[in-house]
Homo-oligomer: A and B are copies of this chain.
Amino acid sequence: MKPLKLGMVGGGQGAFIGGVHRIAARLDGEWELVAGALSSDPARAKASAAELGIADARAYTSFEDMAQAEAARADGIDAAAIVTPNHMHAAPAVAFLRAGIHVICDKPLAATREQADAIAKAQRETGKLFILTHNYTGYPLIRQAREMVQRGDLGDIRVVHVEYVQDWLTEAPDPDNKQADWRTDPARSGAGGCIGDIGTHAFNLASFVTGLKTESVAADLDAFVPGRRVDDNVHVMLRFAGGAKGMLWASQVAVGNENALSLRVHGTKGGIAWAQENPNVMTFTPLGEPKQILTRGGAGATDAGLRVTRTPGGHPEGYLEGFATLYSEAAALVRHVRDGTALPVGHHVPGIDDGLDGMRFISASIASSAANGVWTPLV
């Protein structure tokens, strides 16, 4: 099959997540990068494009130009990937959607509720696709976990524990650290720091696997590093619709943790535990039986996981493969709306609603923490 055509906003030289998106787009051969507004700095935009093999004519210096020009081309891009800092999601997303171009956007949805609402409005009014790269949902065992919950292997869910802890911001970062710089600047990251950057991943993961709707949160947010203007440690208790309870911990100051995203779900009939840093194994304990180690692609693997796996059990897949799955799911969706091809059974890709849920989680948590931890509904 002919690859789809991808454009990219952000992700020029010196950026981090743009490179990840490009590998993810490339890995399954479903996308070809043909256009970009890779940097707001024109020289860097051009140089970055050249490096990536993007034709000069499609190396734009503004996303507005790109949206207009690509929409006008017969061979225009099928989707635009937005990989800028949080406060720069909304403007390009709205521009591409309104130009009739599907959008694949990094998370969290936006820096503010207003920005988020603007994206949602544009998506609703244009009907174009909006895909949010909550990439951890692409891990095969996470797909399997969700399937196991859905089919009742765990019984009724009672307690959910999710964490995403890091240590890279334990101290005030080097001023030259571009990644740290915007993430600790409320003007660019939004009112939430850690909670937006990784707390939303944790929240999304718990929601995705359990299918539970969070009704309210009681939060205790801290900025431990002197001078830090956004939270760097997040404690949240969760109440889900139906009575299940949860705890969420996100931190960027937990020394000894790299990207320690983990999920544990316990129900009336079973419990599972999974951790991102070794994502090819998950434990599952059926009540009263020995704990099992389920492997990606191994005995006990389910359809939902197998569909998005590329190598046999014991040949580990990682972060990039999970991310790539989102791009492949996105491709399937683009072909579906464009060509009418059927979506595969179990197809899933996070979208605008997941993004809005994340924004609700951020703002409810910040509000709760500001009000001394009062239980605050997600609205």
| With known contacts A159-B233, A245-B233, A283-B256, A277–B310 Cβ distance under 8 A | no
Asked if A185 CB lies within 8 Å of chain B CBs, one says no
- Indicate which residue in B159, B273, B320 contacts A310 across the interface (CB closer than 8 Å): B320
Asked if A288 CB lies within 8 Å of chain B CBs, one says yes
Asked if A151 CB lies within 8 Å of chain B CBs, one says no
Q: Are B319 and A319 in contact (CB under 8 A)?
A: no
Bound complex: CA of A6 vs CA of B271, how far in Å? 43
Bound complex: CA of A293 vs CA of B285, how far in Å? 10
CB within 8 Å of B: which A220-270 residues:
220, 222, 224, 233, 235, 237, 239, 245-247, 249, 251, 253-260, 264, 266-270
Asked if A321 CB lies within 8 Å of chain B CBs, one says yes
Bound complex: CA of A10 vs CA of B378, how far in Å? 51
Q: Chain B residues with Cβ under 8 A from A272's Cβ?
A: 256
Q: Are B295 and A299 in contact (CB under 8 A)?
A: no
Asked if A314 CB lies within 8 Å of chain B CBs, one says yes
**Nearest chain B residue, comparing its CB with the CB of A315:** B319
Asked if A150 CB lies within 8 Å of chain B CBs, one says no
Q: How many residues of A contact B (CB 8 A)?
A: 90
| With known contacts A53-B1, A290-B300, A292-B290, A312–B255 Cβ distance under 8 A | no
Bound complex: CA of A316 vs CA of B136, how far in Å? 12
CB within 8 Å of B: which A127-172 residues:
154, 158-159, 161, 166-167, 170-171
Asked if A69 CB lies within 8 Å of chain B CBs, one says no
Q: Digit string of A287-331 for contact with B (CB within 8 Å is 1, else 0)? A: 111111111011110000000001111111111110000000000
Closest CB in chain B relative to A316 CB, distance in Å: 4
Q: Chain B residues with Cβ under 8 A from A294's Cβ?
A: 290
Q: Are A319 and B320 in contact (CB under 8 A)?
A: no
Bound complex: CA of A264 vs CA of B254, how far in Å? 9
Q: Digit string of A69-93 for contact with B (CB within 8 Å is 1, else 0)? A: 0000000000000000000000000
**Nearest chain B residue, comparing its CB with the CB of A316:** B318
CB within 8 Å of B: which A198-234 residues:
218, 220, 222, 224, 233
**Nearest chain B residue, comparing its CB with the CB of A154:** B255
Q: Chain B residues with Cβ under 8 A from A374's Cβ?
A: 372-374
Q: Are B256 and A266 in contact (CB under 8 A)?
A: yes
Q: Are A311 and B316 in contact (CB under 8 A)?
A: no
Asked if A99 CB lies within 8 Å of chain B CBs, one says no
Q: Chain B residues with Cβ under 8 A from A373's Cβ?
A: 218, 237, 373-375
Q: Are A20 and B311 in contact (CB under 8 A)?
A: yes
Q: Are A293 and B295 in contact (CB under 8 A)?
A: no
Asked if A41 CB lies within 8 Å of chain B CBs, one says no
Asked if A40 CB lies within 8 Å of chain B CBs, one says no
Q: Chain B residues with Cβ under 8 A from A237's Cβ?
A: 218, 220, 235, 237, 373
Q: Are A266 and B251 in contact (CB under 8 A)?
A: yes
Q: Are A222 and B245 in contact (CB under 8 A)?
A: yes
Bound complex: CA of A272 vs CA of B285, how far in Å? 18
Asked if A186 CB lies within 8 Å of chain B CBs, one says no
Sample of 6 more A-B contacts, CB < 8 Å, known A22-B29, A255-B266, A283-B293: A222-B245, A235-B237, A256-B291, A258-B312, A259-B312, A316-B318
